[in-house]
């Protein structure tokens, strides 16, 4: 398992190496604007399966992905007016938008599901990686399913145990601040649903949409 310390001097090296790992079907443990996440090519069945295995996550539970901006999400999902309003107000930031996927998107995280969750994190590394990789990559907390989320790599390694052998690259940003996860908002149906209230309070979502 390779590790790169994330700082100004090593930012471009970290991005380039992480993009190479994603292209080769590997898994990257990386920092976001909320938590450490596990990244893999979001539309590769084999790569996504590795992430599910690492987390011991039920394959029936959906997994979200990172894109560079809301326009990039439009390559894979239908962008409606509510999504545009929320993106303009809160992105980049700790918001996950669940959108109806396009019919031809069927692999990886889109397998047997009609919607896809997209994030545009307020994090330089994440955004540079999205642009360098040129495609969505998974964003799911780096912990065993239903277990506490770690802010320190040491704690994450201890929790994942032998499964860390499936991680190809670690981007070490040190201990992350205590933060809530992203707020998840489903705008795929006529009625907007806040699936998880996180960093962005529910009332701010409702205010932005006028509901």
| Residue 169 Cα distances to 15, 81, 118, 182, 209, angstroms | 11, 37, 23, 24, 39
pTM of the model: 0.94
SS3 of residue 130 by DSSP: helix
Burial class (CB in 10 A: 0-12, 13-18, 19+), 80: middle
In sequence order, the 6+-apart residues with CB closer than 8 A to the CB of 150 are 36, 142, 143, 156, 159
Structure-token pair, residue 36 = 């450490």
Q: How many whole angstroms from its chain centre is CA 95? A: 10
Q: What is the pLDDT along the chain (211 residues), one digit of tens a residue?
A: 899 999 988 899 999 999 999 999 999 999 999 999 999 999 999 999 999 999 998 888 999 999 999 999 999 999 999 999 999 999 999 999 999 999 999 999 999 999 999 999 999 999 999 999 999 999 999 999 888 887 899 999 999 999 999 999 999 999 999 999 999 999 999 999 999 999 999 999 999 999 8
Range 2-209 has CATH code 3.40.50.300 = no
Structure-token pair, residue 8 = 């100004």
């Amino acid at each position: 398992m390779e590790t790169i310390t994330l700082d100004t001097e090593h930012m471009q090296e970290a991005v380039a190496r992480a993009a190479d790992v994603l292209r080769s079907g590997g898994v990257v443990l990386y920092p976001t604007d909320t938590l450490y996440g596990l990244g893999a090519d979001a539309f590769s069945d084999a790569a996504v399966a590795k992430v599910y295995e690492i987390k011991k996550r039920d394959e029936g539970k959906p997994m979200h992905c990172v894109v560079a901006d809301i326009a990039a999400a439009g390559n894979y999902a239908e962008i409606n007016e509510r999504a545009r309003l929320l993106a303009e107000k809160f992105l980049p930031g700790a918001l996950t938008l669940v959108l109806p996927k396009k019919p031809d998107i069927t692999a990886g995280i889109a397998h047997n599901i009609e919607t896809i969750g997209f994030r545009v994190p307020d994090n330089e590394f994440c955004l540079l990686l999205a642009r360098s990789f040129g495609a969505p990559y998974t964003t799911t907390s780096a912990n065993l399913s239903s277990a506490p989320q770690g802010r320190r790599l040491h704690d994450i390694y201890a929790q994942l145990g032998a499964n860390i052998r499936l991680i190809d690259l670690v981007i070490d940003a040190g201990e992350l601040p205590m933060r809530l996860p992203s707020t998840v908002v489903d705008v795929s149906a006529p009625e907007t649903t806040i699936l998880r209230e996180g960093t962005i309070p529910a009332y701010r979502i409702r205010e932005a949409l006028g509901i």
